[in-house]
Chains A and B, each alone.
Chain A
Amino acid sequence: MKIGFEIHEQLFTDQKLFCNCPTNYRDVPPNTNVCPVCTGMPGSKPSSPNEKAIDSAIEIALMLNCEIVVDKSIYIQRKHYDYPDLPNGYQRTSLPIAEDGELEDVGIREVHIEEDPGKYDPVQGKVDFNRSGIPLVEIVTDPDLSSPEQARDFLNTLIRTLEYSGRVRPEPSTLRADTNISLKGGNRVEVKNINSVKGAFRALKYEAMRQKRRKEVKRETRAFMEGQMITVPMRSKEVAEDYRNIPDPDILPIRIEGEKVEKIRAEMHEPPHLRRKRVIEKYDIDPAVADVLVTERGFVDLFEAVTDEVDPRFASHWFKDILRKVLNYKDMGPEDIPFSVDNLVELLKMVEREEITPEKGELILRKMVEDPKNPKKLLEELDLKAIDRGKLVSSVEKVIQENEEAVRDFRSGKKEALNFLAGQVMKVTEGKADPREAMNVLEERLDE
């Protein structure tokens, strides 16, 4: 089985690729962030290409280990086909700006930039051009993947790498993928209309199955129907065979200088697989823990920010087991964290020095994501609500008095009775007791 991808992601710029329109297309009513250029009005002419878009594509290509095309004229082509979301009847797309890269043993054939079409709802028959003209990076892989599972993992790695670059739009799912799949010796089938990793996985699984069943697989382009999780043939009218590409006469070709590439290379972020490696070596942490740390660049950045003052191994486990859990529960990313690094360091130190229990630490953390104060202050606030030792002891004695049967059961060896009694202590103290402390006091008293 041979699987390859053509992946599109939106680049993170303030203006569109060939005009000055804003790029926040989701925040405004339909057809608001538009102008004569991105709506294909008669007589409209493109502006020169957005420099940040080109720089972003170069950086992404470098993260994918590509060779950048330097000192050569790179034409912006017109790729002609008829579709409602294409206001000019052609899409402006550049020739490769980079070639011959690699990610996790999958060949990256080339990287180029192109403009996003508008948003067409094929079922309702309506078009919104807010998105039209936003710069996209397209990454074309070699057909080096050999299973839908491998393809899914690869896509996740690729998306993470793009996230690390900081050069793609951070909003969710701007990913669009076309995939191609062929079974041994058979024809290649292309599948379009995939908008998620899950979708890619399902499309490939369906296609693999469909192709296996057929004696002869026709070479064609199919569309993935997300709802039904199947692929259907796209009418040949919708799939242009000859795009009649010409260099766009309105746009002078791009030339990338070696100097610019080196500058970008020097300033760019480390890709995730290298970050993971370095973090494991530098801090001597478990690979499995490192895997969790590098899921988002902001997360591992935060980790490295605390390692000056807190033991890295301890911090790494805490990040994996507790911080990650709390963030997931609150549906937050590292960029949403309201408290400062100092606050976090403070909290970690408190737990590291055993000034507070890990459970209390988690409680404070949960408070801190909503109320970003100094953790010592939050501890005070929590403890005020907690009961003092005297009250705890009298509560324990009360519970022992009132639950003679359970006490006898415990003394005769039934360990579960202790849990029952502990539960009663929590009930009596209205949950304000520290569970561990309560248990200690109980055990003490029962020993007598």
Chain B
Amino acid sequence: MKDKNFDKIRESAEEILESFAEISEGLPSQEETYYEQDTLSVLRSDGKPSSKKDLEEFRKNFLKNMPDRDEEGNLKVEVAEWAK
């Protein structure tokens, strides 16, 4: 990442924070809205897991998109710094 470009981007990123600070100044405190719906918690019963067929189909596509993998199907990534 070119440093000069990055600084420019960071500056422009923060512009809207100023306008936000301005507009929010006079406004009263409110409760925060985290979710659109007021629904009480929705839970899922533990049941029969996904079928072998569905799993196999996804696995094929998952493996295809991997940048690097081994024969067993593990995803290959970087070695940990502290383990070196």
Contact = CB atoms under 8 A, between A and B. Distances in A.
Interface of A: 13-15, 19-23, 29-36, 39, 41, 47-54, 73, 75, 84, 120-129, 223, 232-235, 237-238, 247, 249, 252-255
Interface in B4-61: 34-35, 37, 39-50, 54-55, 58-59
B37 to A, nearest CB: 7
B34 A255 contact: no
B44 A48 contact: yes
B3 interface: no
A22 B50 contact: yes
Contacts of B50: 19-22, 35
Given A19-B50, A31-B62, 7 more contacts: A30-B74, A32-B59, A35-B58, A36-B58, A124-B79, A125-B78, A237-B81
Given A32-B73, A255-B41, A15 B46 contact: yes
A126 B77 contact: yes
B74 to A, nearest CB: 4
Contacts of B45: 51-52
Contacts of A235: 81-82
Contact of A125 (B46, B49, B59, B79): B79
B77 A252 contact: no
Contacts of B44: 15, 47-51
A238 B82 contact: yes
A48 B42 contact: yes
A249 B35 contact: yes
Nearest to B83: A122
Contacts of A249: 34-35
Nearest to A76: B41
A36 B59 CA distance: 10
Nearest to A16: B49
Interface of B: 34-35, 37, 39-50, 54-55, 58-59, 62-63, 70, 72-83
Which of A31, A73, A84 has the most chain B CB atoms inside 10 A of its CB? A31
Which of B46, B48, B55 has the most chain A CB atoms inside 10 A of its CB? B46
Contact of A35 (B34, B46, B55, B77): B55
24 contacts: A14-B48, A20-B49, A20-B50, A21-B55, A29-B72, A31-B62, A32-B73, A33-B55, A34-B55, A48-B42, A51-B43, A54-B43, A84-B77, A122-B79, A123-B80, A125-B80, A127-B74, A127-B77, A129-B75, A223-B82, A238-B81, A252-B37, A252-B41, A255-B41
Given A21-B55, A34-B59, A254 B49 contact: no
B12 to A, nearest CB: 21
Contact of A30 (B35, B73, B79, B80): B73
B47 A15 contact: yes
Which of A48, A52, A121, A122 has the most chain B CB atoms inside 10 A of its CB? A122
A56 to B, nearest CB: 9
Contacts of A233: 82
Given A84-B78, A253-B41, A34 B62 contact: yes
Nearest to A223: B82
Contacts of B83: 122-123
Contact of B76 (A122, A126, A129, A232): A126
A126 B41 contact: no
A34 B75 CA distance: 13
Contacts of B47: 14-15, 20
A252 B58 contact: no
Nearest to B34: A247
In the complex, the 4 A-B pairs of residues with the closest C-beta atoms, listed nearest first: A122-B80, A52-B46, A22-B49, A126-B74
Contacts of B73: 29-32, 128
B46 A50 contact: yes
Given A33-B55, A123-B79, A127-B74, A23 B43 contact: no
Given A13-B46, A30-B72, A252 B79 contact: no
Contacts of B46: 13-15, 50-53
Nearest to A49: B43
Contacts of B48: 14
Contact of B75 (A31, A53, A122, A253): A31
A51 B58 CA distance: 25
Contacts of A252: 35, 37, 39-42
A108 B37 CA distance: 34
Contact of A21 (B37, B49, B72, B80): B49
Contact of A31 (B42, B43, B59): B59
B21 to A, nearest CB: 20
Contacts of A128: 73-75
A186 to B, nearest CB: 23
Contacts of B43: 48-51, 54, 254
A126 B77 CA distance: 5
